[in-house]
Chain A
Amino acid sequence: MSGKLLSEGPEWSFELIERYDREIARVAANYGLDTYPNQIEVISAEQMMDAYSSVGMPVNYQHWSFGKEFIGVEQRYKRGHMGLAYEIVINSNPCIAYLMEENSITMQALVIAHAAYGHNSFFKGNYLFQTWTNADAIIDYLLFARNYIAECEQRYGEEEVELLLDSCHALMNHGVDRYKRPSRLSADQERRRQKEREEYLQLQVNDLWRTLPARDVAESQQQEPHFPAEPQENLLYFIEKNAPLLKPWQREVVRIVRKVAQYFYPQRQTQVMNEGWATFWHYTILNTLYDEGLVDDGFMMEFLQSHTNVIAQPPYNSKFYSGINPYALGFAMMSDLRRICEQPTDEDRHWFPDIAGSDWIKTLDFAMRNFKDESFIAQYLSPKLIREFKLFSVLDDDAQEQLEISAIHDERGYRYIRQSLADQYNLGSREPNIQVYNVNRRGDRSLTLRHTQYHRRPLGDSAEEVVKHIARLWGFTVRLEAVGEDDKVKVTHECKVEH
């Protein structure tokens, strides 16, 4: 049997990595994983920290916030507060996965299975990634973005560009389209069209603000059609297209930040699924290699030790508790799906009549392709898992003196908890709903945003700063109104800009 072993001892070599990759690719293909081609890059710890601090991207524009991130990561790493995650994987085609040189061959195999086949197939298959990102073009686009911004810095000064980027970053989470398909652009097209766009956009803006004869303010507000006609949720997009005072290059920078935000939008919505999927597959693939006699007990011990660390879920009253671990929940749900298919209980048949006893590979594949965290949990969180995790739901209502336990892991609570947990992963409720409501076009050109409150939740303290950032981009007074549950509107923040 030992003759079949892929490796002995912890040392890795390029040859070994290739051999493991071949075997893992074979097993993954047997399970029907469909992936982009892989590009596996071996890097050092410092390089890993670099990659970390530029949000995992191999190229990015330069900004102090990445420096802050880098210093933070470096400090924590040096003091041993954190180990570097052993993998970073980039949703690109070819899919780039980093291996750290410090790792043993076991860890390298784990990362290859996890990132290069797990995440990779998720990127390629999940509908959100399909809809919102373009794996072929992202690296090129980032290269374009970095060069463009560097050019702007040379032309208009680092300070100027930095302030603009600060403002854009503040709105990044509110700079994504949720319901439209952005067009695909390669870097070449992007460069060519950027010039045209510059001129065209400015033309549009000028048209929009063409001076009109002054009228009585009250009268004009009555007759004036609302602008925008419908509230707009993509603040950055609205600013890029309509802010009166931005120069063409500034619009382009806004657009770059918006594009990057859009690229990360699916990742923010599929943490549990993505990590769960990748973890499930590294676990399944490496176990298959073990069953085939390709790896030995020592390999498995090291792998399992690392694996169990990753999927550990401390209880709410532990000092290590910091929310639900997406790896733990995701892995448990994926494994549970397989169990429901292979060994369904009566409970499962009652709860999941469609999938109980079906082909697990097909069921998992379907789940991976067609859901995001919110809907995935709402669809597939089983009573058995709720019991295993001992989930309970706490209601915190500021109108009441005390917290209330609204549901626990019992028959009455399953549906409630499932819905409540799904809601917790809904970006729509996690992030405040803020939309462009009105622009006073004939008067002071002020911009009014509306925050539709979710369960009466107010905005955090940082909102005031963000409004200042918006005012910087807009160039005129910016007002933020809150709409309560009773539909009453009141102005909560205002940043006046005098001209």
Chain B
Amino acid sequence: MTQVIDRRLSGKNKSAVNRQRFIRRFKAQIKRAVADAVAGRSIVDIDNGEKINIPARDMSEPVFQHGRGGRREAVHPGNTDFVTGDRIKRPPDAAGGQGGGASNSGEGEDDFAFQLSREEFLELFFEDLALPDLVKTQLAKLTDFKSVRAGYTTDGVPTNINVIRSLRGALARRIALRGPHMKRLREVNAELTALQPAPDETQEESEPRRLELEEEVRHLKQRIESIPFVDTFDLRYNNRIKQPRPTTQAVMFCLMDVSGSMDEERKDIAKRFFILLYLFLTRNYERIEVVFIRHHTIAKEVDEDEFFHSRESGGTVVSSALKLMQEIIRERYPLTEWNIYAAQASDGDNWDDDSSTCRDLLVSKILPCVQYFAYVEITPDAHQTLWQEYQRVADAYGNFAMRQIDAPSDIYPVFRELFRKRVK
């Protein structure tokens, strides 16, 4: 009569599809919530899921139901001191006690809140962005190949001989070539048997024919034996071809001015910018290395902690960092294997006569090597020579972009602007 079934092990994510559909359906609202969330909180922990609020009204499912007004009567429990005929003030709108509880579902003004997973969050976060020219690079710089198997060929080097295929071919060839001889041999043998003289007959009559046939048998056997066991014609070689492999590793250079004028707040803004770029790259490349270069009058490669937390005083020579970056690229990151990205943050201070050096370095040495070079100037003040020189670079080169940032909340819009999908 009763059957007890253990269903615990059968699939538990039945609702996953419906969840995906929900997210797709309300993408616009969810994306708005994602943008708000990014502006509002520290980007350091951006790599987590996010709680999303959508106004419940936006996603309600409409049905015909009674609205306010008209005459309605409701029965409630727990009367304490009312008596029939009492008149009471109408409670303010949206207060409880109206209309029997069951019918007022779907009217709530509350937000519908839920948690996006990390993956879902980042997917939405980066959706409109595309790595600039990533596709183009993949097509243009296919210098890396991997060797893959691609069937068999009839010529090659002995090490690539495929024994099974070769012998299979040989066997087929032997059967084919032997066929006619074997057939004739069987006929001759049959005739020979027929010629065997009856015991009472003399042998003379059939003797010449018999000798002739025996000669033919010998000849046929020779022909059959002379068919080679393996012929060069039979040989098959494993074929390998080279397939172009898109480069899936990138190096990201973080360049930052740490001179006295860069205070903690500015560094924090720069850091957020770098982290965003890093997160973005992780979406597109399997492997990413990060190189931190900080500079005041001289540049130095440092680890992340030192990069953000130590502080120097003194002047600023931006070109020192560019030089160091160029050297590092030459030594460690061959262009055929690496996609190179660079992000530079500065407050715009530079020695006046250094700015033009920077421009030259960028134009002649760096921009030809990198996929993208992004420069952000973190200052509320007027621009100085560095900005003006860079401006000229930006006008001439498509893979160079620059923006000014005032406050943390500017980062996200600027970031989007820098890496906006380009319509070609």
B2 and A25 contacting across the interface, CB-CB below 8 Å: yes
Interface stretch (choices A248-256, A278-286, A334-342, A402-410): A402-410
A365 in contact (CB, < 8 A): no
Q: Which of B4, B19, B113 contacts A21 (CB 8 A)?
A: B4
A408 and B70 contacting across the interface, CB-CB below 8 Å: no
In the docked arrangement, what's the CA distance between A71 and B107, Å?
A: 19
A396 and B73 contacting across the interface, CB-CB below 8 Å: yes
Q: A75-B114, A432-B64 in contact; A38/B3 too (CB < 8 A)?
A: yes
A67 and B63 contacting across the interface, CB-CB below 8 Å: no
B4 and A455 contacting across the interface, CB-CB below 8 Å: no
Residues of B within 8 A of A463 (CB): 62, 64, 67
Residues of A within 8 A of B1 (CB): 25, 37-38
- Residues of A126-177 at the interface with B, using a CB-CB cut-off of 8 Å, are 158, 162, 166, 169-174
Q: Which of B67, B68, B97 contacts A394 (CB 8 A)?
A: B97
Contact with B along A431-458 (1 / 0, CB 8 A): 1101000000000000000010111111
Most A C-beta atoms less than 10 A away, residue of B6, B25, B103, B115 = B25
Residues of A within 8 A of B79 (CB): 316, 390-392, 408-409
Residues of A within 8 A of B83 (CB): 405, 408
B87 and A170 contacting across the interface, CB-CB below 8 Å: no
B67 and A459 contacting across the interface, CB-CB below 8 Å: yes
A166 and B85 contacting across the interface, CB-CB below 8 Å: no
Residues of B within 8 A of A454 (CB): 66, 70
A466 and B62 contacting across the interface, CB-CB below 8 Å: yes
In the docked arrangement, what's the CA distance between A456 and B378, Å?
A: 64
In the docked arrangement, what's the CA distance between A169 and B73, Å?
A: 29
Q: A67-B22, A394-B76 in contact; A75/B71 too (CB < 8 A)?
A: no
Tell me what chain A mostly uses at the interface: helix, strand, loop, or mixed: mixed
B336 in contact (CB, < 8 A): no
Q: In the complex, how many angstroms separate the beta carbon of B15 from the nearest chain A beta carbon?
A: 4
Most B C-beta atoms less than 10 A away, residue of A54, A64, A65, A461 = A64
Interface stretch (choices A214-222, A289-297, A346-354, A415-423): A415-423
A67 and B88 contacting across the interface, CB-CB below 8 Å: no
A432 and B66 contacting across the interface, CB-CB below 8 Å: yes
Number of A-B contacts (CB under 8 A): 273
B12 and A47 contacting across the interface, CB-CB below 8 Å: yes
Contact with B along A50-90 (1 / 0, CB 8 A): 10011000000011111110111011000000000000000
Residues of A within 8 A of B8 (CB): 42-44, 47, 101
Q: In the complex, how many angstroms separate the beta carbon of A481 from the nearest chain B beta carbon?
A: 14
Q: In the complex, how many angstroms separate the beta carbon of A26 from the nearest chain B beta carbon?
A: 11
Residues of A within 8 A of B64 (CB): 173-174, 431-432, 434, 451, 459-460, 462-463, 466
In the docked arrangement, what's the CA distance between A462 and B107, Å?
A: 10
Q: A39-B5, A459-B64 in contact; A405/B15 too (CB < 8 A)?
A: no
B20 in contact (CB, < 8 A): yes
Which residue of A is nearest B104, CB measured?
A323
Chain B, interface residues (CB within 8 Å), range:
35 or more
Q: Which of A72, A395, A459 contacts B114 (CB 8 A)?
A: A72
Q: A64-B18, A406-B73, A457-B66 in contact; A316/B78 too (CB < 8 A)?
A: yes
Q: Which of B66, B84, B90 contacts A405 (CB 8 A)?
A: B84
Which residue of A is nearest B12, CB measured?
A46
Q: A398-B71, A420-B75, A456-B71 in contact; A67/B101 too (CB < 8 A)?
A: no
Q: Which of B4, B60, B88 contacts A17 (CB 8 A)?
A: B4
A412 in contact (CB, < 8 A): yes
A398 and B2 contacting across the interface, CB-CB below 8 Å: no
B112 in contact (CB, < 8 A): yes
In the docked arrangement, what's the CA distance between A423 and B87, Å?
A: 22
Which residue of B is nearest A117, CB measured?
B2
A11 in contact (CB, < 8 A): no
Residues of B within 8 A of A62 (CB): 17-18, 21
Residues of A within 8 A of B113 (CB): 75
B134 in contact (CB, < 8 A): no
B72 in contact (CB, < 8 A): yes
Q: In the complex, how many angstroms separate the beta carbon of B72 from the nearest chain A beta carbon?
A: 5
B100 in contact (CB, < 8 A): yes
Q: In the complex, how many angstroms separate the beta carbon of B28 from the nearest chain A beta carbon?
A: 14
Which residue of B is nearest A38, CB measured?
B2
Contact with A along B332-363 (1 / 0, CB 8 A): 00000000000000000000000000000000
Residues of A within 8 A of B5 (CB): 39-42
B18 and A63 contacting across the interface, CB-CB below 8 Å: yes
A68 and B22 contacting across the interface, CB-CB below 8 Å: yes
B78 and A318 contacting across the interface, CB-CB below 8 Å: yes
A70 and B71 contacting across the interface, CB-CB below 8 Å: no
B66 and A322 contacting across the interface, CB-CB below 8 Å: no
B94 in contact (CB, < 8 A): no
Q: A314-B78, A413-B84 in contact; A398/B4 too (CB < 8 A)?
A: no
B92 in contact (CB, < 8 A): no
- 5 new A-B pairs (CB below 8 Å) besides A66-B15, A393-B75? A39-B2, A46-B12, A162-B21, A391-B75, A396-B71
